[in-house]
Amino acid sequence: MKLTTDYLQKILQGRFEHTLLEELALVGQLKTAPAGSYLIRPGEYIRSVPIIISGSVKIMRPDKEGREALLYYLGGLDACAMSLTCCLGNKQSEITAVVEEDVVMVAIPVEKVDEWMCRFSTWKQFVFQTYQKRFDSLLETVDEVIFHKLDERLLTYLQKKVASCQCRVLSITHEEIAGEMATSREVISRLLKQLERTGQIKLMRNKIEMV
């Protein structure tokens, strides 16, 4: 699809100055990606920084044994800090990015990311804000795993999921949760049952309703 200044103006309302929007429209590529598709995998290089317009993306961290733990979500108007460092440092990715909800995004070529930084202060601000937000997300994640037990972690996991997909009924299996939390299915089933008994959730096949 063609990217127009008007469209960008509407989406990024007031965040960037007009001249930047014009350049954005010129070099940015409007892309879509369906749920489940991979934006990047560990070891790959990336040559453009995506800004998420709508939908959500989950950032996962793999270990050697093939497990993949969830780090955090990207949502509306978020950009990926990893892609920034990867691009600017020409480094391989250390994470996996999977589309959670169908995504519309604008991809910015890496040269522009760099160039604009000095030309547009709003862009520079955006880049640093991105770093900061990702840093905070990671810190929250660290907090969770260091200081909290699995039952609490499970609850906040579900809450973040609800926030990211904006619906009270999650379509997910126990197995998938276990994967993202780096534990086993049985443990998750056990804890979910516990949450159901205390009336905090309702369980259905392939679904979990938050109450």
Partner DNA sequence: TGGCTTCTGTAACAATTGTCACGGAAGTGC
Partner DNA sequence: GCACTTCCGTGACAATTGTTACAGAAGCCA
- Using CB under 8 A as the binding rule, whether residue 6 contacts a copy of itself is answered as no
- What's the closest the beta carbon of residue 85 comes to a copy of itself, in angstroms? 4
Q: Is the dihedral of CA 179, 185, 190, 193 positive or negative?
A: positive
Residue 93: CB atoms within 10 A of its CB come to 19
Partner that binds at residue 142, options DNA, a copy of itself, none, CB closer than 5 to 8 Å by kind: a copy of itself
Distance, in Å, from the CA atom of 161 to the CA atom of 1, rounded to the nearest integer, reads 30
- Using CB under 7 A as the binding rule, whether residue 64 contacts DNA is answered as no
CB 93 within 8 A of CB 43: yes
Q: Which of 104, 183, 209, 210 binds DNA (CB under 7 A)?
A: 183
Query: Alpha carbon of 139 to those of 66, 71, 75, 144: distances in Å?
Result: 23, 10, 18, 9
All residues at 6 or more sequence positions from 82 whose CB lies less than 8 Å from its CB, including other chains: 40, 59, 93, 94, 95, 97, 134
- Using CB under 7 A as the binding rule, whether residue 61 contacts DNA is answered as no
Q: Which stretch in 22-30, 62-70, 88-96, 187-195 sits in contact with DNA by CB under 7 A?
A: 187-195
Q: Which of 9, 32, 85, 122 binds a copy of itself (CB under 8 A)?
A: 85
Q: Which of 83, 96, 141, 164 binds a copy of itself (CB under 8 A)?
A: 141
Site for a copy of itself in 142-161 (CB under 8 A): 142-143, 145-147
Question: What is the DSSP secondary-structure string of 123-184?
Answer: HHHHHHHHHHHHHHHHHHHHHHHHH--HHHHHHHHHHHHHHHHT-SEEE--HHHHHHHTTS-
Partner that binds at residue 111, options DNA, a copy of itself, none, CB closer than 5 to 8 Å by kind: none
One character per residue 140-169, x = contact with DNA (rule: CB under 7 A): ---------xxx------------------
Where do contacts with DNA occur on this chain (CB under 7 A)? 149-151, 173-175, 183-187, 189-193, 203, 205-207
Where do contacts with a copy of itself occur on this chain (CB under 8 A)? 61, 63, 65, 67, 69, 71, 81-82, 84-85, 88-89, 91, 94-95, 117-118, 124, 128-129, 131-132, 134-136, 138-139, 141-143, 145-147, 182
